[in-house]
Structure 1
Amino acid sequence: MSRVIRSSIRFGAAALAMLGAASASGASLGVSGEAAASASAQPALSAPAADPNVLRICAAKNQPPLSMEDGLGLENRIGVALADAMKRKAQFVWSDRPAIYLVRDYLDKNLCDVIVGLDTGDPRVSTSRPYYRTGYVFVTRADRDLDVKSWNDARLKKVGHIVVAFGSPGEVLLKDKGQYEDNMAYLYSLVNFRSARNQYTQIDPSRMVGEVVNGSAEIAVGFAPDVARYAKESTTPLRITLIEDDAAKSNGEKVAQRFDQSVAVRRDDKALLAAVDAALVSAKPKIEEILKAEGVPLLPLGQ
């Protein structure tokens, strides 16, 4: 995650430099009861001995909906599907800190071996071939005439509150369009006015969707894997629309909206990377099943 955030934690280089940190991003799809029990039993700072029959997965304990200590996070389930395809046992090495710190504090220190859900090509790690592609979405109420698909839609200039993640492409574009100040006090109220400067501060994705549901905001802009679960579970019908990848700042600089997702390993671990790439091929049907169940809209790889 090396440009302006993927929200679930998609930080740009400037934000990472300020933080001095590195990012990341049960009986359920892709998770057996045994795997979930194993996951919840691992201490946060344990360094299990290397075992060719085990896949040590770096994961945040409390990064819903992507990673949760009960093993039901989207990326937890994908991690188990990957381990199964590699014929290894999934062993989660949990962090109490947000996922943005996983590379620096866990992967680089050899406390674990893979991170699920980083942007393809992240320069701090070696990344697998992408296993899915998605992007940022507009979340709106289905009963509103706001079937917005692009940041170039003129209706965006007339709406009320728009919820965006701090450091995200949405925040960048709101600032460029001169609409950020109208939303700033509102956005900071969602994190109890905790500053996002030099520290990790983010609006909970469920809160972002909830603000649309209760009418406090007309639009939420989030990375699809962060918000899809909550939009799908909402009892108020919602519209979730992938944003066209045509956004640009007023100076013409492109602001990307769509990203490939990969599994990350340490930069020098070529053998593990090759094994992960091979396993992702056989795990593809299970991973797509997990993503579909989550409600994540998918794009063709390489688009």
Structure 2
Amino acid sequence: MPKSVTIRAAIVSGAIAAGALLPASGLAAAGPAVSGDAPLPALRICAAAKELPYSAQDNSGFENRIAMAVASAMGRQPVFVYSDKPGIYAVRDWLDKKKCDVIVGMDANDPRVLTTAPYYRTGYVFVTRKDRHLDVQSWNDPAIRKVGHIVVEFGSPSEVMLKQVDRYNDNMAYLYSLVGFRSPRNEYVQIPPEKMVGEVRAGGADLAVAFAPSIARYVKADPGLQLTPVKDDAKRSDGQALPQYYDQSMGVRLGDTGLQAALNAALVKARPQITAILEEEGIPLVQVAN
């Protein structure tokens, strides 16, 4: 789940946005039961109930699958603590309140948590229709200033760059129309990744720009679309680099070094399964930086 998107935005803007968080919606256990033996100790995993492709209550999200692989490597029973609220709220409302113990898929070194060693690295991608023959690989590509609508995730580096290339004003009404003109200033509002892909497919947008894990599944399922990694050469208006690639880790509560160490060992053990899950999802992977 895109739990670190506002942290990326905070790095850009110099402030971390706060949001109102709501109570838990319930617990669900995943993984095979152990019969005839002592029960396995639980690994309580913070998870969003409705945030595909990351997580869903039927465990169909790729982060659900990664969590189960890691729990198995630890010799623990995965127990998903599901919330109906977006994963962006998981740290303050769930992890910090000890309703669960680990969050899957956080930017490495997210200051709100103690992160594990990174287990994959990926970045933002451009999504286009193959029949449009748009060769866009960088935010510095002049073609970006000429294409039609561009759909981006709110609060992301892509939204920052849309403003940087002077395409925000002529896309703003279009972007807000995709969320019923709700304002992300007062509540968490995000364009669903499958809707972003649908806009490109239907011709409503020439270009979608999103974090690869959010959108790769839907692009892979559509032979008429193509996914192109964004070159890591974007710069803010002040000349500072705006990263397009991020190491992904698991997060535990600050100070929980014991669980951090156990997860680090399990991540090494489960690496083949994790890589297979990510590749099946269609997420383009690059070498971990940290």
What TM-score, normalized to structure 1? 0.86
Aligned position for 2:26: none
Q: Does 1:277 align with 2:264?
A: yes
Aligned position for 1:29: none
Q: Does 1:291 align with 2:285?
A: no
Aligned position for 1:130: 118
Give ranges in structure 1 of 5+ residues lacking alignment: 1-5, 23-33, 39-50
What is the deviation of 1:192?
0.7
Q: Distance in 2 between matches of 1:8 and 1:206?
A: 18
Partner SS for 2:214:
helix
* Mapped contact 2:31–2:68 kept (Cα < 8 A): no
Q: Does 1:35 align with 2:22?
A: no
Aligned position for 1:17: 17
* Mapped contact 1:36–1:71 kept (Cα < 8 A): no
Q: Distance in 1 between matches of 2:132 and 2:239?
A: 31
- State the 4+ residue runs in structure 1 displaced beyond 2 angstroms: 6-9, 12-22, 34-38
Partner SS for 2:93:
helix
**What is the CA deviation profile of residues 13-32 of structure 1, one whole-angstrom value per residue up to 9, with x for unaligned ones?**
3674342569xxxxxxxxxx
* Mapped contact 1:150–1:247 kept (Cα < 8 A): yes
Partner SS for 2:263:
helix
Give ranges in structure 2 of 5+ residues lacking alignment: 23-28, 34-38
Aligned position for 2:36: none
What is the deviation of 1:36?
5.6
Task: Quote the RMSD (CA, aligned, Å).
Answer: 2.0
* Mapped contact 1:66–1:73 kept (Cα < 8 A): yes
> Which of 161, 173, 176 is matched with 1:188 structurally?
176
**Change over 3 Å in CA distance of 1:155–1:242 after alignment to 2:** same
Q: Distance in 1 between matches of 2:144 and 2:2?
A: 21
What is the deviation of 1:221?
0.3
Aligned position for 1:64: 52
**Change over 3 Å in CA distance of 1:155–1:148 after alignment to 2:** same
**What is the CA deviation profile of residues 265-301 of structure 1, one whole-angstrom value per residue up to 9, with x for unaligned ones?**
0111111100000000011000000001100000011
Aligned position for 2:95: 107
**What is the CA deviation profile of residues 47-96 of structure 1, one whole-angstrom value per residue up to 9, with x for unaligned ones?**
xxxx9711100001011110101101011111101101111111001111
Q: Which amino acid aligns with 1:258?
A: Y
**What is the CA deviation profile of residues 136-168 of structure 1, one whole-angstrom value per residue up to 9, with x for unaligned ones?**
000011112212111111110100000001111
**Change over 3 Å in CA distance of 1:8–1:165 after alignment to 2:** farther
Partner SS for 2:17:
helix
Q: Distance in 1 between matches of 2:163 and 2:2?
A: 17
* Mapped contact 1:8–1:223 kept (Cα < 8 A): no
Q: Distance in 1 between matches of 2:172 and 2:83?
A: 31
Aligned position for 2:75: 87
> Which of 120, 136, 142 is matched with 2:130 structurally?
142
Q: Distance in 2 between matches of 1:198 and 1:253?
A: 28
Q: Distance in 2 between matches of 1:125 and 1:65?
A: 23
* Mapped contact 1:130–1:261 kept (Cα < 8 A): yes
Q: Distance in 2 between matches of 1:172 and 1:7?
A: 17
* Mapped contact 2:3–2:90 kept (Cα < 8 A): no
Aligned position for 2:154: 166
What TM-score, normalized to structure 2? 0.90
Q: Does 1:268 align with 2:255?
A: yes
Partner SS for 1:201:
coil
**Change over 3 Å in CA distance of 1:110–1:224 after alignment to 2:** same
Q: Does 1:96 align with 2:91?
A: no
Q: Distance in 2 between matches of 1:180 and 1:228?
A: 24
Aligned position for 1:42: none
What is the deviation of 1:203?
0.2
Q: Distance in 2 between matches of 1:287 and 1:249?
A: 34
* Mapped contact 2:108–2:247 kept (Cα < 8 A): yes
Q: Which amino acid aligns with 1:268?
A: G
**Change over 3 Å in CA distance of 1:168–1:123 after alignment to 2:** same
Identity of aligned residues (%): 55
Q: Distance in 2 between matches of 1:151 and 1:74?
A: 28
Q: Does 1:208 align with 2:203?
A: no
**What is the CA deviation profile of residues 186-229 of structure 1, one whole-angstrom value per residue up to 9, with x for unaligned ones?**
00010011111121000000000110001110010000000000
Aligned position for 1:179: 167
What is the deviation of 1:174?
1.1
Q: Distance in 2 between matches of 1:187 and 1:252?
A: 26
What is the deviation of 1:249?
2.1
Aligned position for 1:44: none
Q: Which amino acid aligns with 2:84?
A: D
What is the deviation of 1:35?
2.7
Q: Distance in 2 between matches of 1:126 and 1:8?
A: 14
